[in-house]
């Protein structure tokens, strides 16, 4: 869904560039999340789930406002 929606709202002329940037950002966000998860887990243990949960809630609020 993260790749489909941004592509569908763009015109045909910019669709390929939009798809590429959408996939690039998705892979980058996944990379950052996976690289930071274990170090944060070692430092604050179960708090890492609270941290990522709070971040998800913040992004949800920003998306709908």
pLDDT tens readout for residues 16-30:
998 899 899 999 999
pLDDT band at 5 (very low <50, low <70, confident <90, very high): confident
Q: How many CB atoms neighbour CB 52 within 10 A?
A: 14
- The more confident residue out of 32 and 22 is 32
Distance CA 39, CA 22 (A): 27
Residue 8: predicted pLDDT: 84
Number of domains in the chain: 1
| Segments forming the whole domain that contains residue 35 | 4-64
Q: How many helices (H) and strands (E) does the chain have?
A: 3, 0
Answer whether 0.85 is exceeded by the pTM: no
């Amino acid at each position: 869904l993260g790749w489909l929606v941004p592509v569908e709202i763009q015109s045909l002329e910019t669709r390929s560039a939009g798809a590429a940037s959408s996939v690039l950002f998705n892979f980058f966000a996944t990379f950052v999340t996976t690289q930071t998860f274990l170090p944060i887990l070692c430092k604050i243990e179960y708090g890492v789930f609270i941290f990522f949960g709070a971040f998800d809630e913040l992004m949800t609020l920003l998306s709908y406002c």
